[in-house]
Amino acid sequence: MDNSVSNWILNMGVDGAPVPPKSLAHCPRFNGPSIIINPSCKSSQNNPYILDPISGSRIYLQDSEEVLYRFLAERSNEDLAIIPNKIFSFERSTMDRPISQSSWLCKIQVDLCNPPLNVVGEPSSCKALTRESACFRACSALFDLGILSSCFFPPRPIHTWQHGILQPSKSKVAVDTYYPLVLPLFWHNCLLATPSRLFYPTLIQLCAGSGSGTHRDMLLLTRMPLGAVNEFSLFPNQIELKVSLNQYAPISFNPEQLELIFQYTLHLWRILGNKPYESPSGELAYFVVPLELDSKLKTTYVPHTASIEPFISWHEVNKLVLSRVRPLRCGNMDEMSLDLLEGVIQDRPNDFTRRFEDAKLRKDLNPLSVIMQDKPGEPKISLLDYYRTHRHEFEGIKNLQQPLIEATLLPGLANQLNPQEPPAQLSNNYLVPEMCHVSTIPASTFRTASFIPSVIWHIENVLIAKEVNLTFFQGQIRDELVMHALCSRMAHRTFSYERLEFLGDTFIKYAASAYLYGTEPSAPSGFLHARRQKMVNNRSLWLGAEGLGLAPCIQSEVFRPKQWFIPNVFIPKKNQTQEENLGVTEQAQLLSSRQFSRQIPPKAIADVVEAMIGAALLSGGEKLAFSVAKVLGMDMPKTCDWVEVVSYAPNKPRVTTPKEPSNNKEILEGVMKIIGISLESPELLLQAMQHPSMARCSESYERLEFLGDAILDMLVVQSFFSDQEEWSPHSMTLLKSSMVSNRALAVICVESGLHQYLIHDMNSLTKSIVSFIKAVEARKQEAQTDTQRLRYWSKLVAPKALGDVVESLLGAIYVASGFSISRVKTVYDRLLKPFYDRYIDKQAMLTHPMSRLMKKLESVGCRAFGISKTEVPLASGSGSGFKCEVKLHGQVIAEATREKAQQAITHATEQALDELETRPDRILAKCTCRIGPQGKKRKRTLVEDVEEGEVVEPLPGDDVDHPIDVDMFDF
């Protein structure tokens, strides 16, 4: 437990405690279940509770004090720890009774929020009871203000499993499972609150509240507080548009206003979707209303406490409810010009029809002008003749000399969240004024309203991410990172899980290695490799996610507005009466139907598991990441948490007394001088120097090398995430492979002098080390005269033992320091980082054709990429050369044969790039990485380049055909 929390507990007395330290705010609750079993009882006067709309959690009287402490801890600052600030004060309340029968009153006065808390509890003869009452009232006040975050609520009750992300799937679980669309529990809770007239408004502003009139500000109204949603971007016509969502003070509407809001919202959905939406119950999960055009006053108000009700445009709401359209004012040219300038024009009075904007009067044209053409190449005809042919029940045009209107067709609903969404093709249309109508929705409101489906989709993904975080991980991960971890590249957002997946994949290898090293003290390295692979392979991760029910929460596809699902809103079928409309049960079944289901490959689900662990690592370090990995099903039965893993660090190294103690003392002193830190158990460094050829005398470095390999990967990947550059996954793959390659580690071993202390009993190894050292020196001399050859060691053949001893040294430091990776990082910064900074030119590596090819494949979602390099006789007969083949899903897409390996690789990858650019459909025809298998089982293949004893069980979408040895490329 944190020292500040311990001191705070010691200061707690009968009168409660002072304002807690900041570290109390998010103390982990992983020692308890993620879902609690509580009876599904309604809130009553005798048993009141506060309901969290996102997770369904409840704050009862007995929970409120802890919740208040956590809330105040988050708002506190470090100065309060020096000068304790009281939360509670007590006074006697006689209330016309004798002093002997007086009661206690508890007051809470804290200025850590806006407005300051000023609450009085119910009188009670017991201080604890009145304090409990005051805490509950304080929590209620904070909740009503919309500033009591869901993370402060207790775990989710089990009776909420029927709704939200825990809703049971109607589909059979299999490799090619279709997962149903899930709606956040928040909408269900909003519908449950329908008797309430209290609404929590969220202001939707585009372009940071410009108030220019281009996009009207609108309010999203919900019966439960939505909570904070970070600013995000829309991309209409590939132009970025910032969207901010700000919370304001709750609004209470009368029944007449409620009916107007309901009718306005339903009519707006019908117009936007061009569908006959109905809501038989008369209730919606959310409502929208427009605000007055001049929004400058709103920017001076403080959210949460300010009322935005005076700015609702009731006039505009009434106009749409009373009539969807009105005739265009054709009698007066000025009035008609004003309608065309500010209005949305329709050529029919129907709800479901085409609409136009940017209209202007063309006085040079009339209905008899020959301007229309059915098909390219056919003769043009007049607009009058065109209407006679194409317009249903056309009754003619009264005034054949009236000027025409030229306008731009408004496109239908589109996915505005995709920065690569192709711009809508604008087309000019000609209309006859006397047949036109003006929508009662102003153009500025219509533009904003057309973005609402994309905004709602984003909000739903935010809510699902929060619900996942609260339900499974008790809110310990940053919500934004959870949302990223659940988002596939195929969703075409500005973020995806791929960077987090790269980090999480590295962490679970590291955590599994530490766990196995500690819990299997006598197991050989081959056994450890096999066990680790079984723990971290994709199938195990996929099964863990399936058991938890995580897959339906993944944002695996782009938003499709035509399939926009509005809770409690239906499209009636033909000949269906209102009484026969779908109920809640049928709506849930519709969500599970193929129409709203998505096929997610098991590999993608396993990637999300790794991404979630990576998000936890960034949010709370090793402890949280390990706890999240356990929740997600990682098989580590001998430990409960990371602290217990650390406790397995051996107190005394298992080192047999060597034959020559004097020599070993010299070795120990030399190694200690190289690493530059002191250790409590430095004897373990001797084991790190013991080659397997000395196994008959003492334990070799193989177990430590197994551990050090994972630690080095972890340190290298963490260095990427601490860089200012936001490296893409393919870039990190290339860079890491080069940095941890045996060749690079061997050069580090030689340049640091570590090779001098390698203990072995092999003459052949001695000779190969001497040869390697000479080659290194020769290459260094060449590099001094060639500025383009920074990686002077890239073509060297290094003895494997030299790279192994560097990894085993890192493993030994890790164990000797009590599983402290921070101590290993000190040595990493001293021994490895200077070499990397000098010789690994990251930017130059990323311009290599191989890097560009991997980036191209990453952009299209293909991961089954491999490359092979073989030595072959040259066609000229002048000796041997190298043949390089680039493969996708096991099929060769490009090949090249050259005298030098690097030339063959460069030419083959450039050819593959050209093939992808010119014939992408043919090259990617058999790619299943994005969509999973189509009824075919993929044959499992063993990866050739794996550690001894490791077995890979690939899932659809795995890169298993020909793994890439990045170190063979000459960047």
Q: Return the closest-CA partner of residue 513 out of 716, 742, 803, 708.
A: 708
Is residue 827 predicted with pLDDT exceeding 90?
A: yes
Calculate the CA dihedral of residues 89, 90, 91, 94 and round it to 10 degrees. 140
> CATH number of the domain that 338 lies in?
2.170.260.10
pLDDT on residue 839: 81
Answer yes or no: do 753 and 866 share one domain: no
pLDDT on residue 658: 47
Q: Average pLDDT for residues 641-653, to the nearest whole number?
A: 77
pLDDT tens per residue across span 916-939:
888 888 888 877 765 443 333 333
pLDDT tens per residue across span 539-597:
999 999 988 889 999 999 899 888 788 888 888 876 665 555 555 555 655 655 556 78
565, 181 in Cβ contact below 8 A?
A: yes
Tally the domains of the chain: 6
Beta partners for residue 206, in sequence order = 243
pLDDT on residue 762: 87
633, 662 in Cβ contact below 8 A?
A: no
Q: What is the largest CA-CA distance in the chain?
A: 116
Answer yes or no: do 311 and 331 share one domain: no
> CATH number of the domain that 871 lies in?
3.30.160
Which amino acid type is present at position 937?
K
10 Å CB burial of residue 486 (0-12, 13-18, 19+) is buried
Q: Which of 290, 321, 352 is the last residue of a domain?
A: 321
| 655 within domain boundaries | no
180, 166 in Cβ contact below 8 A?
A: no
Answer yes or no: do 789 and 679 share one domain: yes
| 665 within domain boundaries | yes
Answer yes or no: do 310 and 364 share one domain: no
Q: Using 50, 70 and 90 to split pLDDT, how confident is the model at 785?
A: low
Q: Show the CA angle centred on residue 614, arms to residues 610 and 620, nearest 5°.
A: 140
- % of the chain exceeding 70 in pLDDT: 82
- % of the chain exceeding 90 in pLDDT: 35
Q: Which of 97-111, 138-152, 280-294, 600-614 has the highest mean pLDDT?
A: 600-614
**Which carries the bigger pLDDT value, residue 755 or residue 957?**
755
Structure tokens belonging to residue 85? 């600030």
Q: Average pLDDT for residues 618-645, to the nearest whole number?
A: 88
Q: Average pLDDT for residues 217-227, to the nearest whole number?
A: 93
pLDDT tens per residue across span 400-450:
988 999 998 888 888 999 887 777 777 788 999 989 999 999 988 999 999
pLDDT on residue 438: 92
pLDDT on residue 790: 55
> CATH number of the domain that 758 lies in?
1.10.1520.10
Q: How far apart are the first and last CA of the chain?
A: 49
Gyration radius of the chain over CA positions: 34
Q: Using 50, 70 and 90 to split pLDDT, how confident is the model at 528?
A: very high
10 Å CB burial of residue 921 (0-12, 13-18, 19+) is exposed
Is residue 262 predicted with pLDDT exceeding 90?
A: yes
Q: Residue holding tokens 């002997």? A: 100
pLDDT tens per residue across span 480-519:
999 999 999 889 999 999 999 999 999 999 999 999 999 9
> In what helix (H) or strand (E) does residue 898 lie, and over which residues does it extend?
strand 891-898
Answer yes or no: do 561 and 680 share one domain: no
Structure tokens belonging to residue 183? 């709606």
Q: Say how many C-beta atoms besides its own lie within 10 A of residue 631's C-beta.
A: 18
pLDDT on residue 754: 94
> In what helix (H) or strand (E) does residue 266 lie, and over which residues does it extend?
helix 255-273
Summary count for the chain: helices (H), strands (E)? 30, 26
Answer yes or no: do 331 and 368 share one domain: yes
Measured distance CA(438)–CA(110) in Å, rounded: 54
Q: Which of 779, 811, 845 is the last residue of a domain?
A: 845
Q: Using 50, 70 and 90 to split pLDDT, how confident is the model at 716?
A: very high
Measured distance CA(170)–CA(544) in Å, rounded: 19
Which of 24-38, 104-118, 148-162, 867-881 has the weakest average pLDDT? Answer: 24-38
Contacts of 854 by beta carbon, 8 Å cutoff, 6+ apart: 730, 733, 734, 865
What string of DSSP letters covers 409-440?
EPP-----S-TTPPPP---EEEE-GGG-EEES
| 475 within domain boundaries | yes
- Detail the DSSP E strand segments found in 556-629: 598-599
Kindly report the average pLDDT of the chain as a whole number: 82
Which of 220-229, 238-247, 722-731, 774-783 has the weakest average pLDDT? Answer: 774-783
Q: Average pLDDT for residues 611-629, to the nearest whole number?
A: 95
pLDDT on residue 819: 93
Is residue 478 predicted with pLDDT exceeding 90?
A: yes
430, 406 in Cβ contact below 8 A?
A: yes
216, 442 in Cβ contact below 8 A?
A: yes
10 Å CB burial of residue 34 (0-12, 13-18, 19+) is middle
Answer yes or no: do 527 and 612 share one domain: yes
Q: Average pLDDT for residues 632-653, to the nearest whole number?
A: 80
Answer yes or no: do 366 and 467 share one domain: no
Q: Domain of 602?
A: 455-637
Q: Average pLDDT for residues 799-822, to the nearest whole number?
A: 94
448, 313 in Cβ contact below 8 A?
A: no
Q: Average pLDDT for residues 902-927, to the nearest whole number?
A: 84
pLDDT on residue 932: 41
Backbone angles phi, psi at 963, to 5 degrees: -60, 150
Q: Show the CA angle centred on residue 198, arms to residues 194 and 202, nearest 5°.
A: 105
Distances (CA, A) of 794 to 844, 869, 886, 899, 905: 14, 16, 21, 17, 14
> In what helix (H) or strand (E) does residue 774 lie, and over which residues does it extend?
helix 763-784
Burial 562-583 (b: 16+ CB within 10 A, else e): eebbbbbbbeeeeeeeeeebbe
Q: Average pLDDT for residues 89-94, to the nearest whole number?
A: 82
Using the Cα atoms of residue 961, residue 965, residue 966 and residue 970 in order, give the sign of their dihedral: negative
Q: Which of 383, 413, 439 is the last residue of a domain?
A: 439
pLDDT tens per residue across span 31-82:
444 444 343 445 556 678 999 999 888 999 988 988 998 898 888 876 555 4
| 723 within domain boundaries | yes
Q: Say how many C-beta atoms besides its own lie within 10 A of residue 396's C-beta.
A: 9
pLDDT on residue 338: 84
Answer yes or no: do 482 and 622 share one domain: yes
Answer yes or no: do 826 and 755 share one domain: yes
Answer yes or no: do 669 and 552 share one domain: no
What string of DSSP letters covers 493-518?
-S--SHHHHHHHHHHHHHHHHHHHHH
pLDDT on residue 937: 34
pLDDT on residue 576: 60
Answer yes or no: do 91 and 224 share one domain: no
Is residue 951 predicted with pLDDT exceeding 70?
A: no
| 686 within domain boundaries | yes
| 852 within domain boundaries | no
According to DSSP, the β-strands at 891-898 and 598-599 are unpaired
Distance of CA 280 to the CA centre of its chain: 36
User: Which DSSP category does 899 fall into?
Assistant: S
pLDDT on residue 970: 45
| 647 within domain boundaries | no
pLDDT tens per residue across span 839-862:
887 777 667 787 788 878 877 777
857, 863 in Cβ contact below 8 A?
A: yes
